[in-house]
C-alpha cells in the first residue's frame, strides 16, 4: 500500500492568518544544538520543547510539531518544511504556526491534520498516510504508524490517524516517533541513525516500554523527547541506564526539552 509522492513544483507565497489556539508561551531559553555528521554536511539538532525540534541540514530547515508560541523559535531560520504528527494541540498548534514565517513552507501532515488546517494553509500541505513517502528538497520523508496499545477506535492515538516520520538525508535515517507506544512497526525499523522517542504516561508509553523498543531497533543515537506526562517529567536518566545496561553502543543523549519551567 506504499506509494511515492514527488514534489515537482515550487510553492507560491501565501498569507498565513490562522485562528488562535491555547498554547503556553515560552521565553527563548534553549539548550545548545547538536551537530551530527552526514555525507552532505552536518545535521543540526535544536531541541525546542516537548515534542518539538528544529533540524537543519544542507541549507534547509525543518520544524517538527512547532508548539509553545512562536517566541520559542526566535533567531532560527524560517522553516522550509514543517512536519506535524497528530491533531492534538501539542503537535498541531495553530497559534504558534500563525506567528511563524511560512510563506515558502511545505507542511507535511497526516489526513486528520489536513482536515483541521485553515484554508490559508491548504495549498501548502502535502498529505501522507502511514506507509507513504515524499521526496523533496534533497530528502525523503516516510510516514510511519504511531498509535496506542491495545489498538482501539477510542484510544487517544488510534492507528492510522497520526504519523511518525523517518527522514532520510545525507545518508542518515532520522526517526521521529510522534505519540506512540512500543509498537511492532517501531521495533521493526532498520538502519536508524538518530531517533527521537516519546515516553509520557498516560498518553504514550512508560520509559521501560520506550527502552525495550529502542533496544529492538538499535538506533545509533537516541534522544528521549516528549517526556512530560500527567505526573510530571519522566525519569530519562533511568531510561538511559536501562538502555545502556543492555547495549552500551547506543548513544543516549539527554537534553532539556522543558526550558524556562515548561
The model's pLDDT over 129-150, given as tens digits with 9 standing for 90+, comes to: 999 999 999 999 999 999 989 8
User: What are the extents of the domains in the chain?
Assistant: 34-255
Q: Strand pairing of 228-229 and 232-233?
A: antiparallel
Place of cell 524556562: 260
pTM of the model: 0.87
- pLDDT computed for residue 154 by the predictor: 75
Render pLDDT for 200-212 as a digit per residue (tens, 0 to 9).
Answer: 888 999 999 999 9
pLDDT at res. 260:
66
If pLDDT is split at 50, 70 and 90, which confidence band does 152 have?
Answer: confident
CATH superfamily of 34-255: Ribonuclease Z/Hydroxyacylglutathione hydrolase-like (3.60.15.10)
Distance CA 97, CA 30 (A): 19
| pLDDT tens digit sequence for 233-255 | 999 999 999 999 999 999 999 99
C-alpha–C-alpha distance, residues 141 and 167, integer Å:
5
Cα–Cα distance measured from residue 97 to residue 100, given in angstroms and rounded to the nearest whole number: 5
Sign of dihedral through CA atoms 146, 149, 151, 155? negative
- Of the candidates 225, 217, 222, the one whose C-alpha atom is nearest the C-alpha of residue 250 is 222
Amino acid at each position: 500500500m506504499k506509494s511515492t509522492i514527488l514534489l515537482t513544483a515550487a510553492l507560491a507565497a501565501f498569507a498565513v492568518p490562522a485562528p488562535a489556539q491555547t498554547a503556553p508561551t515560552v521565553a527563548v531559553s534553549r539548550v545548545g544544538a547538536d551537530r551530527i555528521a552526514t555525507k552532505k554536511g552536518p545535521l543540526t539538532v535544536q531541541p525546542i520543547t516537548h515534542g518539538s525540534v528544529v533540524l537543519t541540514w544542507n541549507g534547509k530547515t525543518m520544524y517538527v510539531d512547532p508548539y509553545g508560541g512562536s517566541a520559542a523559535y526566535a533567531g532560527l531560520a524560517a522553516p522550509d518544511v514543517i512536519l506535524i504528527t497528530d491533531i492534538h494541540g501539542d503537535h498541531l498548534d495553530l497559534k504558534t504556526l500563525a506567528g511563524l514565517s511560512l510563506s515558502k513552507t511545505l507542511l507535511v501532515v497526516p489526513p486528520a491534520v489536513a482536515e483541521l488546517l485553515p484554508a490559508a494553509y491548504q495549498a501548502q500541505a502535502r498529505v501522507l498516510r502511514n506507509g507513504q513517502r515524499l521526496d523533496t528538497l534533497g530528502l525523503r520523508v516516510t510516514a510511519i504508524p504511531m498509535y496506542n496499545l491495545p489498538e482501539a477506535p477510542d484510544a487517544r492515538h488510534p492507528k492510522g490517524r497520526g504519523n511518525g516520520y523517518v527522514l532520510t538525508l545525507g545518508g542518515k535515517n532520522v526517526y521521529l516517533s510522534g505519540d506512540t507506544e512500543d509498537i511492532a512497526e517501531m521495533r521493526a525499523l532498520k538502519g536508524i541513525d538518530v531517533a527521537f522517542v516519546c515516553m509520557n504516561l498516560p498518553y504514550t508509553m512508560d520509559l521501560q516500554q520506550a527502552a525495550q523498543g529502542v533496544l529492538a531497533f538499535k538506533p545509533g543515537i537516541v534522544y528521549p523527547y516528549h517526556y512530560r506526562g500527567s505526573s510530571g517529567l519522566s525519569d530519562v536518566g533511568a531510561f538511559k541506564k536501562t538502555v545502556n545496561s543492555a547495549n552500551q553502543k547506543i548513544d543516549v543523549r539527554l537534553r532539556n526539552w522543558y526550558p524556562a519551567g515548561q
